[in-house]
């Protein structure tokens, strides 16, 4: 079977979200970089695949798919029998709870954490002025969310239950940047159960591989 | 079999999404009204079910579930073979449904809800509409709708030639934009978006859920 193609830069949280799933499921893939600085994602060739001009895009045979969380679900479903088993749960009810936490990530965890990552990690690199009022607002918002996670993870090893699932996986990219690149690591590390969960999921082989690849990338 | 309980309120967009899905799947349910105006969704009783204090939450036997987009996916899967099929008929079709559900959740929902909130909800609470914020979000929504126009010129519904969860997810916010916020021109000025909107908003399930306005 031909390798799937994943278009996107490794540094993009959405791209690494999709890649983490490909690695967990041991799917043969080809990572094709997209140069965001050169606005490659806004050129006609890319827009033909992804009309919103965003990364990543997956090509699997005749199927072209975008939106990292849709890609994660598709890969987990299609390759259910290989790699890490149980990413989608073992029953309809387990799957439902996984989807619930996928949506929590998407609607509640992602907005404030993305904002902080952009403002604290990337804006300084790109010479964009920071908005301190909004940073403070989003930090408070994110803290409140993490308080709910702390309670949840004190009762459950992983977000949706006793097993690692796509819901935990979906949180890897933003949390990595929060801990490594924003100076706000204590948001995670000061919370006993959130920190234990983070240490656990980020030490999975799939995430270790992405860290190695990122390191190699930054040396080029 | 016990009836599914939906804890929410009739005017909430997220509650309406769940109710519409239940109607499409012809599933019996009971709406248990949560008095959000009185802050009932932030009380310990409700927070025990949904720690984020948002509506709706459903109870289906032993299962308690929140996040409307997760709830409708659950219902679509549990009641496959009954009522309207909402996930397509193959893995590839399902993937495209998931993709357009994500587009709604990531790109359409936020600007649409901000516009709704500013025009409909803020004045009700005694505040003033922030016109600049409305304008900014109309511009965002316009960019998204232009892409929808292109997509719907090639495909009857968002994920393909079949109605799906992806289209369903757009009903509650778009209905308010068109019917109660005076933003109908965003839809009616785009030929294919208009045809799509007229089609999906006339579905009996949606008509039943949206009967009473704000």
Place of tokens 């803020």: B122
pLDDT, averaged per 10 consecutive residues of chain A (220 residues), comes to 91 97 98 96 97 98 98 98 97 98 98 98 93 97 98 98 98 98 98 98 98 90
Q: Which residues of chain A neighbour B150 with C-beta distances below 8 Å? A: 51
pLDDT digits (tens, 9 = 90+) for B10-46: 999 999 999 999 999 999 999 999 999 899 999 999 9
What mean pLDDT do residues B98-102 have? 98
Rounded distance, CA A142 to CA A146, Å? Answer: 6
Res B4: pLDDT: 98
B60's enclosing H/E stretch is: strand B57-60
Note whether A102 contacts B77, CB cutoff 8 Å: no
The DSSP secondary-structure symbol of B36 reads: G
Query: Considering just the CA atoms, what is the radius of gyration of chain A in Å?
Result: 17
Res A1: pLDDT: 60
Tokens matching residue A23: 């690695």
Res A167: pLDDT: 98
Res B1: pLDDT: 61
Residue of A nearest to B57 (CA): A100
Residue pair B208/B23 in contact by the 8 Å Cβ criterion: yes
Note whether A93 contacts B63, CB cutoff 8 Å: yes
Residue of A nearest to B90 (CA): A78
pLDDT digits (tens, 9 = 90+) for B106-164: 999 999 999 999 999 999 889 999 999 999 999 999 999 999 999 999 999 999 999 99
pTM: 0.97
Positive/negative CA dihedral, B87, B90, B93, B98: positive
Residue-by-residue DSSP string for chain A: -PPEEEES-TTSHHHHHHHHHHHHTT--EEEE---TTTTGGGSHHHHTT-TT--S-EEEETTEEEESHHHHHHHHHHHTTTSSSTTTT-SSHHHHHHHHHHHHHIIIIIHHHHHHHHIIIIITTTTTPPP-HHHHHHHHHHHHHHHHHHHHHHHH-SBTTBSS--HHHHHHHHHHHHHHHHSS-THHHHTSHHHHHHHHHHHTSHHHHHHHHHHHHHHT-
Contacts for B101 with CB less than 8 Å, ≥ 6 apart? A70, B69, B73, B165, B166, B169
Domain spans, chain B: 4-85, 91-209
Question: Bridge partners of A64?
Answer: A59
Res B51: pLDDT: 98
Res A80: pLDDT: 96
* Superfamily classification of domain B4-85: Glutaredoxin (3.40.30.10)
Say whether pLDDT at B167 is over 90. Answer: yes
Pairing of strands B4-8, B63-66: unpaired
Question: Class of B91-209 per CATH?
Answer: mainly alpha
Contacts for B38 with CB less than 8 Å, ≥ 6 apart? none
Q: Which residues of chain A neighbour B51 with C-beta distances below 8 Å? A: 148, 151-152
Place of tokens 């796509």: A166
Quote the percentage of chain A above a pLDDT of 90: 96
- Is B25 near chain A, with CB under 8 Å? no
Measured in angstroms, the CA of A8 and the nearest CA of chain B are apart by 17
Task: List the A57-60 sheet strands across, edge first.
Answer: A29-32, A4-7, A57-60, A63-66
Residue B177: exposed, middle, or buried by beta-carbon count in 10 A (0-12, 13-18, 19+)?
A: buried
Res A217: pLDDT: 87
Res B214: pLDDT: 65
Pairing of strands A29-32, B29-33: unpaired
């Amino acid at each position: 079977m031909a390798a799937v193609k994943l278009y996107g830069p490794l540094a993009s949280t959405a791209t690494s979200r999709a890649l983490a799933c490909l690695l967990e499921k041991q799917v043969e893939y080809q990572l094709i970089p997209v140069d965001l600085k050169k606005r490659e994602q806004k050129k006609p060739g890319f827009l033909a695949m992804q009309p919103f001009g965003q990364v990543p895009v997956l090509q699997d045979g005749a199927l072209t798919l975008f939106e990292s969380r849709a890609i994660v679900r598709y890969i987990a479903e299609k390759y259910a029998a290989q790699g890490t088993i149980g990413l989608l749960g073992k029953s309809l009810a387990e799957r439902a709870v996984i989807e619930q936490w996928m949506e929590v990530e998407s609607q509640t965890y992602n907005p404030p954490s993305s904002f902080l990552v952009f403002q604290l990690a990337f804006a300084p690199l790109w010479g964009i002025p920071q908005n301190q009022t909004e940073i403070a607002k989003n930090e408070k918002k994110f803290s409140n969310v993490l308080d709910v996670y702390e309670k949840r993870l004190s009762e459950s090893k992983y977000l949706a239950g006793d097993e690692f699932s796509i819901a935990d996986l979906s949180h890897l990219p933003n949390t990595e940047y929060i801990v490594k690149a924003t100076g706000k690591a204590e948001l995670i590390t000061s919370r006993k159960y959130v920190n234990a969960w983070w240490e656990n999921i980020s030490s999975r082989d799939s995430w270790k591989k992405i860290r190695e690849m990122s390191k190699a990338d930054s040396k080029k | 079999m016990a009836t599914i309980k939906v804890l929410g309120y009739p005017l909430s967009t997220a509650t309406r999404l769940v109710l519409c899905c239940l109607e499409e799947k012809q599933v019996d349910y009971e709406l248990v009204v949560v008095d959000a105006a009185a802050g009932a969704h932030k009380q310990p009783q409700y927070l025990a079910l949904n720690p984020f204090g948002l509506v709706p939450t459903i109870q289906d036997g032993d299962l308690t579930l929140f996040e409307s987009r997760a709830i409708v996916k659950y219902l679509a899967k549990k009641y496959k073979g009954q009522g309207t099929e909402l996930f397509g008929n193959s893995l590839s079709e399902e993937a495209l449904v998931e993709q357009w559900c994500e587009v709604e959740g990531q790109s359409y929902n936020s600007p649409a809800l901000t516009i709704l909130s500013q025009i409909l909800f803020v004045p009700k609470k005694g505040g003033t509409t922030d016109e600049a914020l409305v304008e900014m979000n109309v511009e965002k929504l316009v960019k998204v709708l232009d892409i929808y126009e292109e997509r719907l010129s090639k495909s009857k519904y968002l994920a393909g030639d079949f109605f799906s969860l992806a289209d369903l997810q757009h009903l509650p916010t778009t209905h308010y934009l068109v019917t109660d916020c005076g933003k109908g021109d965003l839809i009616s000025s785009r030929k294919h978006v208009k045809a799509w909107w007229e089609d999906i908003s006339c579905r009996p399930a949606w008509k039943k859920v949206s009967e009473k306005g704000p």
